[in-house]
Structure 1
Amino acid sequence: MAERIAGVTGSRADFGIQRPVLDALRAAPDFELDLYVTGMHLSPRFGHTVDEVEAAGFEIAGKIDCDASGGSDLEVAHSTSAALAGFADAWAGRRPDLVLLLGDRFETFAAASAAYLLNIPIAHMIGGDVTSGSLDDGLRHAISKFSHLHFTTNEPARERLIRMGEHPDTIFTTGTPALDAILSRDLLPREQVERRVGAPLGARFLVATFHPATADKGAPSEQFAELLAAFEDLPADMTALVTYANADSGGAELNRLLEVAEERSDRIIARDSLGQELYFSALKHAVMVVGNSSSGLYEAPSFGIPTVNIGCRQDGRLKAPSVIDCSPERSAITAAMVKAVEMDCSGTVNPYGDGRATERVLSALRKFMPFEKLGMKRFFDA
């Protein structure tokens, strides 16, 4: 009998990362996938990207609306509460054998909380990392403590989970599934990228995403204004393709600033979402990635392009030699971009995997079937 796994996706970012695993689960005869959509996917403000999930052929088992608007801390707390209640109701009515989660978002934390309180086993992808510049750091570690199985992207992350009391036999270093997608699909030629973006990209272009650094004392809007100003220092033949910030506290204000900047500048092209195929295709043709998104660390190295990583949001994560750290100040960002243009990153080795994460995840899941035998967790004293 197939084991029912509940997958959860809340944004374009996590869907793109975990899609290879979700595709494999729905194709496997010994698994039954129920996919639940929540968070930014359901917001028109962020492109209503649930449409992309459905276009990819996924049947959606439930839509958990938590009004992810990117407003204040209080609004994010209320969104988390709404998501927790929504997942609890969904899984009380259609109980999965296992909940599969990825990452560290507040809606993912809500799903983990609901599953844990309903005594449903949890498997967690991309735990054990450190991002001390973001509240996601604490959420990620909390999700790991709720979880029975762990799929990490690197060995230092695995070692951290052991120090957190997770049993070594339940932790598997798989790499990130995002690289599986990069290496397994044909990406769009440059002219199609430009056509689908719907604007000329110039002779050269960079891809940028900047999210609120929620654990940083600096104001996200002031930091983002510095980045937008730095774009004006780019060479005349270079444009910036910028995607919207996420729904963390302060994200809505960043997106308003981006919209104003796009109206005033011929250097900036803003889009709420690109979707996985277009985003990866853009990276294939871009000269660099700029901002503070994990994509600059996880995925950009596999394209042989440099990353300008701004501020403290990704502090603590493994970084390939292609990553340039800089402070969130116009002069520092401009200097880092100038350095990036001159770098040759064609031989970069990505520290987050080899494109075979999906097969490792499914192999590990099968070792613990049926999932009911996972039972209660025990703290592992190393």
Structure 2
Amino acid sequence: MPINNYKGFLRMTGFCKTKIPEEIMAALEPIKDNEEAVKAYGIHLGTEMCKKILATGIKTLHLYTLNMEKSALAILMNLGLIEESKISRPLPWRRPANVFRVKEDVRPIFWANRPKSYISRTTGWDEYPHGRWSNAQNPSYGALTDYQFMRARSRDKKLQEEWAVALNSVEDIYERFKDYCLGKLRSCPWSELDGLQPETKIINEKLGHVNRKGFLTINSQPAVNAEKSDSPSVGWGGPGGYVYQKAYLEFFCSQEKLNTLVEKCKSFPYLTYMAVNKEGNWISNVNQTDVNAVTWGVFPAKEIIQPTVVDPASFMVWKDEAFEIWSRGWAQLYPETDPSRKLLEQVQNSYFLISLVDNDYINGDLFSIFKDI
């Protein structure tokens, strides 16, 4: 089992009454407070141990992941046993190792970058959506708690370094979002993940452009039309199938920019949008009961799988969390009297959160609506 966390390593070895070689403790001691360095060492150590095992003629390795498979996959790639491009996802999102959720195969897109938060807010459900989101029968989400805003020390440090910069105007806020979309920053208050995801990199230049204009993106996906399911960037479900996606964009913007966007949407019949502010004021061209499948896959001998949806009821739940991140995820990185903190709170209280879908996944161009704005 790869070492992923120093305290967890000590706890596990203590529980198992394992004697730790001195050279391992000597290597870990200087880096014990640096989670990324500990993981990197764990991958290195695991790789070297596996090399020695394989060198003896043993042909089988058994790696425990404890639901943290990245280190194990890195070891296997170091050994040349798998290629990164061949690692497939069973679904577009990672299914948790929970016996009660084994059949879960549909989720709202809004928590795509905050899967731990989604799991925590749905942990009390009696049933998890399977087949179609409508089967969920409007389950209630758990309330927001401190848990949704807890961060690992290394992640908190990275956010502090990259996001706790002086903000003199809203344009400085635009710059943070733009730099993240262009891959210049590894962290984002609205994401639990590390850096941009592979499919985001397909459209990151376009994302950077709209962020410069004040449309502050926190979630997105490109349009996909019959891409092979083993595609390294957008594939899921294993080989032999084809996957599809509607272009999706979720962002914050001012009331003025929203008004312009709503007016322009009248000339784009394939675009559907939902917009809401912190107070819950709703603007949309869809009904609040309309559920829109935005990702689906076709596989041999299976029904069509549609694992990601845009659901208005869930959007209204998500908006509370999304707006709260302005203060608890970003503004709190600054001292209480810092002007940057006050600017972020002003944006939090005045901007709208928008979910925008281009339903023409074949010929559509979601980003064209932002031209001339």
Same fold (TM over 0.5): no
Q: Which TM-score applies when normalising by structure 1?
A: 0.28
Q: Which TM-score applies when normalising by structure 2?
A: 0.28
Structure with more contact order per residue of length (Cα contacts < 8 Å, sep ≥ 6): 1
